[in-house]
Each structure stands twice: as C-alpha cells, then as structure tokens.
C-alpha cells in the first residue's frame, strides 16, 4: 500500500472513530477493527489479565466489513502515572472469513478460525511518541483505542494479517486526539489457523 493511501485510510479511520468515541462512555480500553471493502470477517477478542478472569470483548463477535471500523470494548485496564497498563497481559484476536452476503455473525461448528496472541512483551506494542520521538511500549489501557487494519494475504494457512496498527488516546485528557503508529513490523503479524 502506498504511503499516500495509508495516510488517507488512517485519516478516514480517525474521523469515523472520532464520531463514535464522542458518543461512547469514557470507560475501559477499546479496540477498533477495520478491513478494506470487499473483505468480510467475523472477529472476537479475549484480553488476558495479570489477576482476575480473562475479559471477552463486548460485543462477543463483530462483523468487520465494507471498509468501516467496528469498535469493541476489551475491558477495564487501569494505567499508572507513567502510562503503564500493569493489568494487561495479552490480547488474542480470533477471526473467521465470511462471504459478504452471509448474514450469520456466529461461527459455525468446525469452521476454521485464525488467531494471533499479542503479549505485553511483544514488539508489536512499541510506538513512537510524535512529541518526544521516543519509542516505548504503548499497551492497551483505559481511555485508549487500539486501531487495527486487517487485510488478506492470499496464503491458505495464514489468510489474514494485521496490515497497520495505531493507538489513539481520545479519552485521555492530556493526550486528547493524539494518534501514535505502532512499529513497522506489522507484516510479521499474521493470524494463523487454530
């Protein structure tokens, strides 16, 4: 994808999310999933925590299609003063491929699914602060929205990948509306068959 298309896609995604976020209550961490027009996925997430039970996304399964972002709640993940998210351990994203015309949003029995586990120590979470230029972990936490652009790979065993990823702090007052890109390694983050 060209840098120009990437920038315009990111701008559109940010604009759409702004309207969604302004209407949303200020609680917990969120995940936005987006796929280009022509791609249809059913996705769910599980957030593993350092203490307490794992958190299933709300809603449980979402349809990601038609080039529109879908926002899901991934749980309450309080942060420390320095921005760490000590309760967050990992985020598991699981998706099923769908035809655009399929109306059912519930996975079928024995239907293949594809997933990825993003642990807190994974380089995936590294982001460069646009104000300081420092690259440091930027974990999901209350008031943040992790935005993932999912794409198809054409590879049978790993048909879905994370093409781009950003974090937005629109619910954190001192970081209002700031977007940070996660690192440039996203091509190395395919969802593999379960």
* pLDDT, tens digit (0-9, with 9 covering 90-100), for 174-183: 555 567 777 6
| C-alpha closest to that of 147 among 1, 16, 53 | 16
Q: What is the tens place of the pLDDT at every residue in 145-163?
A: 999 999 999 999 999 999 8
Residue 135, pLDDT above cutoff 50: yes
Give the containing element (helix H, strand E) for 14: helix 3-23
Going by their DSSP bridges, the two strands 145-152 and 29-34 should be labelled as parallel
Query: Whole-angstrom Cα distance, residue 14 to residue 147?
Result: 9
Decide if pLDDT at 48 tops 70: yes
pLDDT at 57 over 50: yes
Rounded Cα distance between 65 and 19, Å, is 18
Helix (H) or strand (E) holding 22: helix 3-23
Domain residue spans in the chain?
A: 3-193
Among 11, 8, 24, which residue's Cα sits nearest to residue 170?
Answer: 24
Q: What separation in angstroms does the CA of 51 have from each of 43, 73, 88?
A: 25, 19, 9
Each residue's pLDDT tens digit, 62-98: 999 988 999 999 999 998 887 789 999 999 999 999 8
Look at residue 2 in the predicted model and tell me its pLDDT. 47
This model's pTM is above 0.95: no
- pLDDT score of 81: 82
Please list, in sequence order, all residues whose beta carbon lies within 8 angstroms of the beta carbon of residue 87, skipping any fewer than 6 positions away.
49, 50, 51, 52, 76, 77, 78
């Amino acid at each position: 994808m060209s840098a120009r298309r990437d920038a315009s896609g990111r701008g559109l995604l940010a604009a759409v999310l702004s309207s969604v976020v302004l209407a949303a209550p200020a609680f917990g961490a969120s995940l936005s999933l987006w796929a280009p027009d022509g791609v249809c996925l059913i996705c769910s997430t599980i957030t593993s925590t350092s203490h307490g039970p794992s958190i299933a996304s709300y809603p449980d399964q979402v349809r990601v299609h038609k080039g529109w972002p879908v926002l899901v709640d991934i749980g309450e993940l309080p942060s420390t003063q320095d921005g760490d998210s000590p309760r967050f351990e990992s985020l598991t994203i699981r998706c099923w491929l769908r035809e655009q015309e399929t109306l059912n949003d519930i996975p079928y029995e024995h239907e293949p699914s594809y997933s990825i586990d993003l642990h807190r120590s994974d380089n995936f979470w590294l982001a460069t602060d646009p104000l300081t230029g420092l690259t440091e972990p930027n974990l999901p936490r209350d008031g943040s929205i992790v935005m993932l652009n999912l794409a198809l790979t054409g590879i049978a065993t790993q048909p879905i990948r994370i093409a781009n990823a950003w974090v937005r702090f629109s619910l954190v007052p001192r970081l209002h509306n700031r977007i940070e890109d996660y690192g440039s390694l996203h091509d190395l983050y395919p969802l593999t068959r379960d």
